[in-house]
Structure 1
């Protein structure tokens, strides 16, 4: 096994450990493209979990800056010691991926390191646009051999739906560390005091905010369905993770479910089944 294979194998292992849904979906993509998808998803997993591995924001900013330097070509030599970085650089080269989209992902992740409130729904959609929609679009570029697949709009809506769902599922963890991704304008609309959330208290106001947020996620899923016919067949596998959004939203709205004390989970076997069943017709299963 050559060193290149090892880098991509390492990337796949990172995705398997930290982003099981994208890992399972990449396994259902055409084999030739799997290593590149794993490299992208591993990069995403690495920058998404920086908050978990640093004790304060500054070392987190240093890590994000390292990735930015790497992507902008000002970091020389250091990539050799980082298999995910190696796999990512080879993927960028092979598929001519826009480095700026990857840099934007690292910049958006600075928000994760601090406890600043998310000002508005518009800001939140911008954040998930950079962090999640960008990833859907890069996956489409890989699956379309580096040529523009014309999927930017669909990827935009897909990222918002997937991103909002993920943030609602992560609410117990975010609340425990006083981090608020639920947007300020939506909180105000429903008179939700963030402090009650940080105290782990599920109120009618919080439930109203989450009902509205599920509505926004479903609205964007609907926009994906409307635009689906324009997505090249080759790119469909990039959207596979999206078929898990509706099952997760249904878990979040079960009567008596406590969004601050319980995790909305679907067994891995069921997730594999949902993804596998959708692999032939992803948009028909949304």
Structure 2
């Protein structure tokens, strides 16, 4: 199994994620592609079947993959094998395992218990993955809080975009869907990203490259700040030109913040 298989999977998952990784240094892609492919596979697992037990089995598969990778073993699987190599190169397993555990929420039909549970979910499915990739690429523990903050904010922006689909599937995606509550979430997400962006200039180009996957999020969160109704309406998008320009600008400017 090769890194190309992960790259192909990420490309099928969306041009934005693929472009962000291709904008990263070549040496960082061996970490970013497997971790992002893993994230996509785990995110899809709960929705692969209407039968909860099958979804649970799919998530358990990834737990087993991670345990084996931590033990130095690799499955003959298009994502599991490159992921095991990334773990061998320093990707910590604990944040990846937390991501799998967080996706249990997607299997059920219960709303989040409270706002803290919602932010924990975003940290596990976004913040922890940014930190895990950056750690393997040379980021020190002093940068963990900032990297997680950036990842949480980026995960919130993606989640806002998914709200109409989640509601269409019969879920209650937000603890409080009132416009003022949605705006408050956007405020908090943007504050987390603003704080996290400070550490980017202190990291090397490779170590900060996982942050490229959240390049569009600050703009989307500002849109929600200005018009919270965009979330329910499914009106959170950027033009392809703006996406390309913003990504190129961020990739070319090490001290770029927001």
> What's the counterpart of residue 126 of structure 1?
120
C-alpha contact 1:240 1:282 (8 A) present in aligned 2: no
User: What secondary structure is seen at the aligned counterpart in 2 of 1:22?
Assistant: helix
Gaps of 5+ in 1: 193-205
C-alpha contact 1:157 1:221 (8 A) present in aligned 2: yes
Give deviations 1:47-91, integer Å, cap 9, x for gaps: 0112332223211110010110121129999921x2111111111
User: What secondary structure is seen at the aligned counterpart in 2 of 1:79?
Assistant: coil
> What's the counterpart of residue 151 of structure 1?
143
Whether 1:231 aligns to 2:225 is no
Select 1:104's aligned residue among 76, 98, 103.
98
Cα distance between partner residues in 2 of 1:40 and 1:223: 24
C-alpha contact 2:146 2:195 (8 A) present in aligned 1: yes
* Correspondences of 1:156-175 after superposition (within 5 Å): 156-175=148-167
Whether 1:279 aligns to 2:255 is no
C-alpha contact 1:172 1:263 (8 A) present in aligned 2: no
Larger Rg: 1
* Correspondences of 1:1-286 after superposition (within 5 Å): 4=1, 7-73=2-68, 79-80=75-76, 82-93=77-88, 95-144=89-138, 148=140, 150-183=142-175, 187=176, 206-252=178-224, 258-281=230-253, 284-286=256-258
| Distance change in 2, residues 1:38/1:212 (3 Å) | same
Structure 1 window deviating more from structure 2 (252-261 vs 61-70): it is 252-261
Aligned-pair distance for 1:220?
0.8
Cα distance between partner residues in 1 of 2:227 and 2:62: 43
User: What secondary structure is seen at the aligned counterpart in 2 of 1:179?
Assistant: coil
Cα distance between partner residues in 1 of 2:257 and 2:220: 14
Aligned-pair distance for 1:14?
0.9
C-alpha contact 1:33 1:143 (8 A) present in aligned 2: yes
User: What secondary structure is seen at the aligned counterpart in 2 of 1:49?
Assistant: helix
Number of matched residues? 257
User: What secondary structure is seen at the aligned counterpart in 2 of 1:284?
Assistant: coil
Cα distance between partner residues in 2 of 1:263 and 1:56: 31
Cα distance between partner residues in 2 of 1:53 and 1:172: 19
Cα distance between partner residues in 2 of 1:15 and 1:173: 21
Cα distance between partner residues in 2 of 1:73 and 1:222: 37
C-alpha contact 2:111 2:172 (8 A) present in aligned 1: yes
Gaps of 5+ in 2: none
User: What secondary structure is seen at the aligned counterpart in 2 of 1:168?
Assistant: helix
Give deviations 1:209-241, integer Å, cap 9, x for gaps: 211111111121222134445434431212112
User: What secondary structure is seen at the aligned counterpart in 2 of 1:73?
Assistant: helix
- After TM superposition, the score normalised by the length of structure 1 is 0.81
- After TM superposition, the score normalised by the length of structure 2 is 0.89
Aligned-pair distance for 1:159?
1.8
| Distance change in 2, residues 1:153/1:268 (3 Å) | same
| Distance change in 2, residues 1:19/1:51 (3 Å) | farther
Aligned-pair distance for 1:277?
1.1
C-alpha contact 2:66 2:93 (8 A) present in aligned 1: yes
